[in-house]
Structure 1
Amino acid sequence: MQRLCFTQSARDGQRMQEFTDEVATLRRHLDSVDNQLYAHDLHLRRGRDVRVVLLPLRGGLSNRQRGSGP
């Protein structure tokens, strides 16, 4: 019985690690898409008063600071 519980616990731990890795991969992908959208938005705003600031790692839309319009 203990062996069965240990085996199940090891499987659960492995599944949890797989899900954690998948979440990290998806987060990186979303960050990449988010950065592409931000760059596209800056391209569309060309000619306006836009201030570009460096984003912290894993920065999202809420972390971005943009200059106000004219």
Structure 2
Amino acid sequence: MTVEVGEQVYVRSKFKMIFLAVLSITLLCLLLDFTIVLIGPEPGDSLRSLEDTLNSGFKIGFGAMVGLIGGKAT
């Protein structure tokens, strides 16, 4: 399927809802990750573990968004 210049692509409401949910979770993980980094110079082991989890959540969410957009384009 090719999309010509000026041709509109129909996006269903379910796709928009899923994309916005993934975007929200991804941005929340990024925001909380930055917050933990800025809290203090030397976080404990539990905060480091939470930071790693949030960092992974951001990476997975970003990959999911790229996959959703790529899947919609084809």
Q: TM-score under structure 1 normalisation?
A: 0.47
Q: Which gives a bigger RCO, structure 1 or 2 (Cα 8 Å, sep 6+)?
A: 2
